[in-house]
Structure 1
């Protein structure tokens, strides 16, 4: 984690300058961009472990940049915004952000959220022994390469979407409550964050289900949470 590279995209130089002090203290390498277009150019030329992305910027704003990044990249994204309404947070999560922090923010909280995202990515990139691939109907989850294919075509999942799918797949047949999902995937206390879980489940279904409105893989257990059914027969039998 000490060698992680953070790309901070914000047109407010004071915020970037302040955070550079905290990033330096944590041993992070910091790359800076003033807008979404600069961020995309940096991503084409430099390896980045996490993006801190402001919503309101000139040239290309954070929402546009996030959607563009998600076309090809599953890197963790933490969105910053002065917009504090629930609908704004849901919008940010819906288009691909993994976390959302309202301005003004505590720099130490942002650092904690960055560490949480990096820790989660490292955790779910480490495959359990003997379980490099999980097959569920027409979906294949490769734990080692952190990839998912549907009908043999690779689909791009955000890190949190992959972590969520992996958690459900590893615990097939078990109903996982929203609070357990949130605490394990988000790596923080639940605190009534149902919307975050529901948004990510919906996005995940849109990518892996043949008919997201009638999901056959990720089942809702009303009032409790979600599950993936046990396969009646092991693959290949």
Structure 2
């Protein structure tokens, strides 16, 4: 439960309120996740009362759906005690690609494994019960970072003659199947390519056998092209659909 708002005359509150107004003037907003209550006494209401534009989904929905409607937030405020694991993974996959500050509201029991994991990657956190003025100050401190931008990357390109993937000055040889899969994903950059379409490059007696082989090829492909194969940044899984490539790859023919 939220604590009482600090008196309007208190220096910490006045400082937070000035910074909050600046955030609103810059068209930023705080995305509040893990708390579907947007009525009186909610985090969303608390932030708006302090001049901080905030949005809370009425129900847990895919992060991509929220972002397509509202655009990138200035900050994500995450209630760890009320978030499903899949949603938390989606949030961190997004933050791998974009520099969006994250503040976590953690339960009193900090020893929970998933809580520990998220606190390691968060910019800041508060434990329940927390002071509303302290939370607001932490939000404004974290949101002073530059607006969310896609992280800078080296140039990625494919050499069709040598069947090589290049990441800056590094080159790696791809198998014919890996090369075909990457090319197909690259033709629909940012879109999900379904399992069946990708399986067309793979031999097998049944679709199930092809899908199993496809997963092996995707794993090997990630090991070759991803900066961190355990946390794929370029080739992402679209659950129940297929895979998508998140960054464009130039295609060149070298002689």
Please indicate, yes or no, whether the TM-score normalized by the shorter chain is above 0.5. Answer: no
Q: Which has the higher contact order (CA 8 A, sep 6+)?
A: 2
- Higher gyration radius (CA): 2
TM-score, length of structure 2 as denominator length: 0.42
